[in-house]
Amino acid sequence: MSFPESSPRSFKRAILKLSGEALREPGSTDNISPEIVERIASEVRDALAPGDLELGIVVGGGNFWRGASASARGMDRATADYVGMLATVMNSLALQGSLEHHGVTCVVQSAIEMKNVAETFIRRKAERHLGERRVVIFAAGTGSPFFSTDTTAALRASEMGADVVFKATMVDGVYDSDPKKNPDAKRYSRIGFQDCISRQLKVMDATAFSLCMDNNIPIVIFDLGPAGNITKALRGEQIGTVVTGTETVLG
């Protein structure tokens, strides 16, 4: 699919990827900020208001735990990654609570079975939920170690037949160099998958890019910070950088 150039939105089903760090107030010792989670939930509610969008959400766990970092400090990598998967479940439950508070019907599906707190991920069941306009929050990553939640988002998008993946980050798109280090860094409005992979751009991992490229699913990378950006993205407004096809455009 080629991503729409203008509003209104022309996609039916989307996956929204949120980082775990985005749920934490910068500088705070609290792992989850209820205020930030509430804001995210309210923006999702506003985006869903027209009633025609089917939405899945993947949340990272970096506000609690990073498997790669724990592994670098000597912990077995597979064990460290499983701990990280459980962290994503905590974030998913927090987001579910806020979404329900805002009147959004949603369900958490976990790739690791834990019947008392979440449904076990079953692809066809998740598709039915989406088709009935329930938000599905995909927790516990892929259920296997060594895969990031970026890859989870790409995998679930492929399994669900999503039209687009939205990745909410702390920067407003993809740049030709690090904008924090280079004040002259230029932002891409559109960039090809192969360019992202060959230039080793770190906005998503290579496996996630490859999965979306193979399944022709564009990725929109945008800044979570400004209020209303999630709503704008999910409504199909032009925002951030679109990763799609082979086209690369600065500006």
Residue 195's alpha-carbon distances to 163, 171, 181, 232, in angstroms, are: 21, 19, 21, 26
Strands (E), the chain: 13-18, 54-59, 106-110, 119-120, 135-139, 164-169, 174-175, 187-191, 219-223, 241-243, 249-250
- In the annotated binding site for UMP, the residues are 61, 81, 142-149
- In the annotated binding site, the residues are 17-20, 61-62, 66, 81, 142-149, 169, 175, 178
- In the annotated binding site for ATP, the residues are 17-20, 62, 66, 169, 175, 178
Phi, psi of 153 (to 5 degrees): -60, -45
Separation CA 23–CA 19 (nearest Å): 7
111, 147 Cβ separation under 8 angstroms: no
